[in-house]
Structure 1
């Protein structure tokens, strides 16, 4: 089967992906996008979720 054509991302989508992967090590403050991404991930990985 043929793969669907890859749709080019907008600059906003590229920035969001970069923010989600970048945790700003060595700087003061937090990256809100990264905090939301990894905060939810931690919740999902927690074995104590009912």
Structure 2
């Protein structure tokens, strides 16, 4: 059941850690991974 996600929903999901629930949403997990890559001192720009 894959529904289309609007840009507004995607932006909200990237900031939503879903605290108190099992797991996290896909956008939040991907955003945290990208953030980690950017903050890595060995990351080439």
| TM-score > 0.5, shorter chain as reference | yes
TM, length-normalised to structure 1: 0.66
- Structure 1 vs Structure 2 CA RMSD: 1.7
TM-score when scaled to structure 2? 0.71
Q: Which has the larger radius of gyration?
A: 1
User: Which residues of structure 1 form unaligned runs of 5+?
Assistant: 1-10
**Residues matched between the structures, number:** 40
Find runs of 4+ consecutive structure 1 residues off by over 3 angstroms: none
Partner residue of 2:20 out of 11, 26, 30: 26
